[in-house]
Amino acid sequence: MKIVLLLTVLAFASVGFAQQTKVPAGYTYGTSQIKKSPVSLEELKLLQQSLLFGEEDIKYLRMSHNILKDQTNDILDVWYGFVASTPQLVYFFGNKTTGKPDGEYLAKVRERFGMWILQTAEANYDQKWLDYQHEIGLRHHSAKKNKTDNVNSVPIINYRYIPALTIPVTTTLKPFLAKKGNSAEEVEKMHAAWVKSVLLQSILWGQPYINKGEF
């Protein structure tokens, strides 16, 4: 119950996020701090083809941007509420010594998560985007977990939970896609594009977890 209360408070702590101009702490997209992804742009295209991800999906992701850009706080409230009710997920944000959720860690991640929503909807699959996916994967893996925010948390997020979150993230997003009066067909196509994009990203985030030559 205490965990739920803490995360509920954090969920409402970032009011006005969509209008913020300050770059969130640890958000290094497109900077020299990011290493080049070991996955090439050509390999990315082949992966997209394997997911049946094409130009129509890009079109509908970009359509979703204007719909979602002023709803990021509400979306994050829902997602953080899900984490709050799922102990095996809360665990990865806990202090390694006390076992209790680290509020500052959660708040910083939340700000970057809001940027991720908009970035996903922008659907710009260039080298900068690909490189940042590698960085996100490293931050989930023991290679860089906790280093960005300098926290004393558990050393890795077990990979099995990363692709699993595709379902709760995209299922709970669908009602937000329907809030601006788009047709049912448009909502379905935006949602389908989001499912593909989130799964694509979760696959890319898995690269650091897999032995060289196996990814």
pLDDT of residue 177: 98
Angle, CA 207 vertex, CA 204 and CA 213 arms, to 5°:
125
Q: Is residue 184 part of a domain?
A: yes
Q: Is residue 149 part of a domain?
A: yes
Q: CA 114 to CA 29: how far, in whole Å?
A: 13
Compute the residue count for the chain: 215
Domain containing residue 120: CATH number: 1.10.490.10
Q: Is residue 162 part of a domain?
A: yes
pLDDT of residue 149: 97
Any residues with CB less than 8 A from the CB of 64 and at least 6 apart, and which?
Answer: 121, 177, 190, 193, 194
Report pTM. Answer: 0.90
Q: CA 155 to CA 60: how far, in whole Å?
A: 37
pLDDT of residue 97: 94
Q: Is residue 10 part of a domain?
A: no
Q: Is residue 83 part of a domain?
A: no
Q: CA 10 to CA 114: how far, in whole Å?
A: 14
Helices (H), 36-151: 41-50, 55-68, 72-84, 87-90, 103-122, 127-140
Tell me if 34 sits within 8 A of 132, measured CB to CB. yes
Q: Is residue 63 part of a domain?
A: yes
Q: CA 102 to CA 145: how far, in whole Å?
A: 14
pLDDT of residue 13: 42
pLDDT of residue 16: 38
Number of domains in the chain: 1
pLDDT of residue 211: 95
181 token code pair: 């009066």
Provide the residue range defining the domain that includes 53.
Answer: 26-70+113-209
pLDDT of residue 21: 55
Q: Is residue 141 part of a domain?
A: yes
pLDDT per residue of the chain (215 residues) written in tens, 0 to 9: 444 445 444 443 443 343 445 899 999 999 999 999 999 999 999 999 999 999 999 999 999 999 999 999 999 999 999 998 999 999 999 999 999 999 999 999 999 999 999 999 999 999 999 999 999 999 999 999 999 999 999 999 999 999 999 999 999 999 999 999 999 999 999 999 999 999 999 999 999 999 999 99
Q: Is residue 200 part of a domain?
A: yes
